Structure 1
Amino acid sequence: MKFIRWFLGKVILTLNFIFTPRGIKRDPATQQEIDQKASSLALYQFEACPFCVKVRRAMKRQSVKFDLRDAKNDPTHREELRTNGGAVKVPCLRIEKDGETTWMYESSDIVNYLEQEFA
């Protein structure tokens, strides 16, 4: 079973690399505003998780960059996710806004959030 997961993970990452989406082209001032807005976000993820790949592809399409945190291999990020988010479930988007932190878990919800905030 471990081999199957490893193999499928490599297939998912290879296909993602081959078929990487193109990002939105913005003028530098607008992109800087987007980058500033995105600086309060962090994505807790596993590299080969298909739902995490879905969210990273949405980030690429919207030309949004924020902190990617490996909750599988980094015990600090894993514990942060468990303690503050409530569960080790990925993908999880941590949103800090107006001094409040929100943890968003569903990939479709995260993609919708990115499209609403950064399109």
Structure 2
Amino acid sequence: MLLGEIISRPKGLVRPAATQAKVDQACQSLVLYQYKTCPFCIKVRQEMSRLSLRIERLDAQPEGKNREDLLSGSGQTKVPCLKITDQAGNSQWMTDSSKIIAYLQGRFASDKALGV
């Protein structure tokens, strides 16, 4: 599965440097909780690659802090799960790969969405 992900990874969206810097800044408020071999997580990571998003990825499969944080934040250990933190420090937890992809596309796919 992981080899297939690498082979089929889409070429990333190329943006002007200033625009990519804004995108990178916005991505600092996002964290993807995932399992490395989960097909739905792979689907989200492929879209992140296509949109050239540098979102922190945390493996929540093994027992430990990442899994505990996912459970306490979202109420479940379902992945993929995107943690979205606003400027006030409030977090929203989004599960379902299709919803996560739609959110990422809506927020990052166009210059208009980026406020550029």
Specify if TM > 0.5.
yes
* 2:3 counterpart residue number: 14
CA deviations 1:39-98 (Å, max 9, x no partner) are 000000000000000000010010011110010135100000011110001000000013
* 1:25 counterpart residue number: 14
Please list, as runs of the form range in 1=range in 2, the aligned pairs for 1:86-101 lying within 5 A after superposition. 86-99=75-88, 100-101=90-91
- Unmatched segments (≥5 aa) in structure 2: 110-116
- How many residues in Structure 1 have an aligned counterpart in Structure 2? 108
SS of the aligned residue for 1:22 comes to: coil
Which protein has the larger Cα radius of gyration, Structure 1 or Structure 2? 1
Amino acid at match of 1:36: Q
Q: TM-score, normalised by structure 2?
A: 0.90
Amino acid at match of 1:77: N
SS of the aligned residue for 1:89 comes to: coil
Structure 1 residue ranges (4+ consecutive) displaced by more than 2 angstroms after TM superposition:
none
Q: Is 1:45 the equivalent of 2:34?
A: yes
Seq. identity, %: 43
> Distance in 2 between the 1:31 and 1:85 partners?
29
- Cα root mean square deviation, aligned: 0.9
> Distance in 1 between the 2:63 and 2:6 partners?
23
> Distance in 2 between the 1:30 and 1:74 partners?
38
Amino acid at match of 2:104: L
SS of the aligned residue for 2:10 comes to: coil
* 2:48 counterpart residue number: 59
Q: TM-score, normalised by structure 1?
A: 0.88
SS of the aligned residue for 2:79 comes to: coil
Amino acid at match of 1:109: K
> Distance in 2 between the 1:30 and 1:39 partners?
15
> Distance in 2 between the 1:87 and 1:104 partners?
11
- Unmatched segments (≥5 aa) in structure 1: 1-11
How far the C-alpha of 1:18 sits from its partner, in A, is 1.0
